[in-house]
Chain A
Amino acid sequence: AQSVAQPEDQVNVAEGNPLTVKCTYSVSGNPYLFWYVQYPNRGLQFLLKYITGDNLVKGSYGFEAEFNKSQTSFHLKKPSALVSDSALYFCAVSHHYGSGNTGKLIFGQGTTLQVKP
């Protein structure tokens, strides 16, 4: 069965410092990996995805993520955190359409990022 783990319930970082939000996955075949962000009282917003190719993917708002197949990880990173980055972050995995796959997302439990001034 597919699963996603986000081992940290909360990550605290000072503004201007680099941040990392961890994600590991368990899935057969070649996964599609995603990061979404959820601000209070707002819907999930797409940040970035890994489908194939370069292991380092860049997304919205200066975020990036590194796909590591041997460690089955897809950690979210940003070189310099902003207070406005404070939100709930979700890692998710799916497969591409076809061969019985529907593209449905399997989400992790979420990690709250708190950036302090």
Chain B
Amino acid sequence: GAGVSQTPSNKVTEKGKYVELRCDPISGHTALYWYRQSLGQGPEFLIYFQGTGAADDSGLPNDRFFAVRPEGSVSTLKIQRTERGDSAVYLCASSLTWGSKANEQFFGPGTRLTVL
């Protein structure tokens, strides 16, 4: 079946611009996560959605970062006034929250964001 998809795969932008990154989770997965992976580091948690609501946004670095999931499926991570330090691979993952597969997160291929 289809896995988690993310678009675009690469995004190059200029400092100060606004960007949107899209995640399409596995059908039926109510939990959705965003992570950020900088070069040479492990992924770092940004935000978690259960259904349409952001249940935990403690990982967002500042108020330039925002994410939505209006219909409980596709999610968009939005970054305002981008800075060079935002350059990283942004990963999306989804999972079930019940049954034997609970907690098993399936990751998308990521969006590589480069801020010039």
Residues on A close to B: CB < 8 A?
4, 32, 36, 41-46, 49, 51, 90, 92, 94, 96-97, 102-110
Q: Specify which chain B residues have a CB less than 8 angstroms from the CB of A110 in the assembled complex.
A: 40-42
**Are A109 and B41 in contact, with the CB atoms below 8 A?**
yes
How many pairs, one residue from A and one from B, have CB atoms within 8 Å of each other in the complex? 66
Interface residues of B in 64-116 (CB under 8 A from A): 91, 93, 95, 97, 102-110
- Nearest-CB distance from A67 to chain B (Å)? 15
**Are A106 and B41 in contact, with the CB atoms below 8 A?**
no
Query: Known contacts A43-B109, A102-B48; is A107 also within 8 Å of B43 by CB?
Result: yes
CA distance A46 to B50 in the complex (A): 21
Query: Known contacts A49-B104, A96-B102; is A103 also within 8 Å of B43 by CB?
Result: no
Query: Known contacts A44-B91, A108-B42, A109-B41; is A103 also within 8 Å of B106 by CB?
Result: no
B12 an interface residue at 8 Å Cβ cutoff?
no
Q: Specify which chain B residues have a CB less than 8 angstroms from the CB of A46 in the assembled complex.
A: 104-106
Residues on B close to A: CB < 8 A?
4, 31, 33, 35, 40-45, 48, 50, 55-56, 59, 91, 93, 95, 97, 102-110
Query: When the two chains form the complex, which single residue of B59, B93, B103 contacts A32, counting CB atoms closer than 8 Å?
Result: B103
- Nearest-CB distance from B102 to chain A (Å)? 7
The 7 closest A-B CB pairs, nearest first, are A107-B42, A44-B107, A43-B109, A43-B107, A102-B56, A104-B45, A102-B48
Q: Specify which chain B residues have a CB less than 8 angstroms from the CB of A49 in the assembled complex.
A: 103-104
- Nearest-CB distance from A74 to chain B (Å)? 15
Query: Known contacts A97-B102, A109-B41; is A103 also within 8 Å of B48 by CB?
Result: yes
CA distance A102 to B48 in the complex (A): 7
**Are A42 and B48 in contact, with the CB atoms below 8 A?**
no
**Are A43 and B105 in contact, with the CB atoms below 8 A?**
no
CA distance A2 to B42 in the complex (A): 14
CA distance A45 to B45 in the complex (A): 17
CA distance A41 to B107 in the complex (A): 13
**Are A94 and B91 in contact, with the CB atoms below 8 A?**
no
